[in-house]
Structure 1
Amino acid sequence: MRILGIIPARYASTRFPGKPLIDIKGKSMIRRVYEQALQSASLNEVVVATDDERILMHVSEFGGRALLTSSEHQSGTDRCAEVAEKLPGFDLIINIQGDEPFIDPKQIDLLCSCFDEADTQLATLVKKINSVEELQNANSPKVVLNSKSEAIYFSRAAIPTVRGLEISEWLSAHTFYKHIGIYAYKAETLKAITKLPISPLEKAEALEQLRWIENGYKIKVAVTEVETVAIDTPEDLNRALRPNIPGNTENQ
């Protein structure tokens, strides 16, 4: 099985314009993501997918591979689909978040292992929730799994509701999971899901994964113990550079 790692990277960002090119201790964020992805034992190739010439040139300058993609894409999934079409011959596509400079390569390998089961169409990672604060954070989507380790729903709300208990007691009564935003798709599945219209549940929760579920696709899930820091704002960058941040080997 040939596996392509794609790192979508947009220059425009309401909260942090130009963030792929920000300096993190001598290297740009996109370079750190790229170099971490190269350490995965599963990937045959890694490429940055960008809509901006500045990012394209920067990746080329440090010796990486990048492709220019449309500026009209609404999601990283759509950007990955364009690259997958331009680079045929891969069986599996991994969508690696371009704002996680300390991503653990073993997470990529864990995600790829979901396709050891031949019928897996899509896959992602989750992590057990360990605090009520995390459970109530609407910016951190929660995932409900079935007995086959497949995601059956994603929500910004704390689900399921544990009846008869205060929310402070829920974690002792049920195992809750949060979504870790890295995806894998079979090449033909990626092509198909990007042609689907926005679905009612996706519109309600603002979570594209729900479009896939509503259309009958199964999302295989692997549980990880690792969560690295995503950088969406300048404040996130300051937090990421603090000592003892998971995955931040620069500070260990």
Structure 2
Amino acid sequence: MKIIAMIPARYSASRFPGKLMQDLNGKPVITRTYQATVNTNLFDDVIVVTDSTIIFNEIKSVGGKVMMSKKEHDCGSDRIAEAVEDLDIDIVINVQGDEPFTEVESLKKLIQVFKDDTSKQVDLASLMVHITDEDEIKNPNTVKVITDQNNFALYFSRSPIPYPRDTEVETQYFKHKGVYAFRKQAIMDFYNLPMLMLEASEKIECIRYLEYGKRIKMVETHVQGVEIDTPEDLERAKKIWK
């Protein structure tokens, strides 16, 4: 299998504009993420795909591989789909541009899903983390996921799922981490299929796969990671980097 990593990188961000070009101890966040992904040695290729000439020029300046998006996109999956349409690949892993602390073991687990899936039952794989903090469980910015007994996703929601109707039942909650591994056909189908009601309501792109019958294998990881969504997150990342 030919396996590549794609890092979608928008310059604009509603909560923290230009965050990918913010300095993280001597280098921009996107450069740190790109170099960390390359250094995993897990991929046949690592490519940043961006709508920004600023990010494009930055990655070029460090000798990295980068592509310009041809159009505006609603989500990272659409941006990746456009970029891989004409590439001869089997699996593409979406690495978030704002997560410079690439966690190798979790990426290995995602790749292993497809190596083990000889009958090609899995369309995509993604990560989930067990959470217990009540504020995080109730926070609509935290996407929760529920699975069947084989860890295939049943649904994703910004609401607490499952709802604890019976408080005597021991309920577990899992946070969805936005790291995906796709078969090429799955992401191209996503790109060409229209958004349906559930995705439009929740504003969670992976629901589209479920609505069209795709199978998402969830892999549990114990690493929360550091997502840089706010200036406060950046300061925390700087301390960790040191």
Question: Letter of the aligned partner of 1:109 in structure 2?
Answer: K
Could you tell me which residue of structure 2 aligns to residue 94 of structure 1?
93
Unpaired segments of 5 or more residues in structure 2? Answer: none
State the AA in 2 paired with 1:220. K
Match of 1:245 in 2: none
SS of equivalent to 2:142: coil
| 2:129 alignment counterpart | 127
The count of aligned residue pairs is 239
Structure 2 residue corresponding to 1:147, chosen from 132, 144, 149: 149
Q: 1:157 is matched with which residue: 159, 165, 170?
A: 159
Q: C-alpha displacement at 1:177, in angstroms? A: 0.7
TM-superposed CA distance for 1:191, in Å, is 0.7
CA contact (8 A) 1:41 1:109 kept: no
2:24 touches 2:237 (CA, 8 Å); kept in 1?
no
- In the superposition, the TM-score normalised over structure 2's length comes to 0.94
Q: CA deviation at 1:202?
A: 0.5
**Higher mean C-alpha deviation, range 143-152 or range 113-122:** 113-122
Q: Is the 8 A contact 1:6 1:46 kept in 2?
A: yes
Q: If the length of structure 1 is used for normalisation, what is the TM-score?
A: 0.90
2:223 counterpart of 1:226: yes
Report what 1:43 is aligned to.
43
Q: Which consecutive unaligned segments of at least 5 residues does structure 1 have?
A: 243-247
- For residues 216 and 14 of structure 1, the distance between their equivalents in structure 2, rounded to whole angstroms, comes to 31
Partner of 1:110: 109
Note the C-alpha offset of 1:203.
1.0
Measured on the aligned residues, the alpha-carbon RMSD in Å equals: 1.4
**Contact 1:40–1:106 under 8 Å retained in 2:** no
Q: CA deviation at 1:129?
A: 1.0
1:181 aligned residue (178, 181, 186): 178
Contact 1:33–1:100 (8 Å) recurs in 2: yes
Q: Which runs of 4+ in 1 moved over 3 A?
A: none
1:190 to 187, 190, 199: 187
Determine the structure 2 residue equivalent to 1:70. 70
The answer to whether structure 1 residue 11 and structure 2 residue 11 are counterparts is yes
Aligned counterparts of 1:27 and 1:187: Cα–Cα separation in 2: 32
Checking the alignment, whether the CA contact within 8 Å between 1:7 and 1:34 is kept in structure 2 is yes
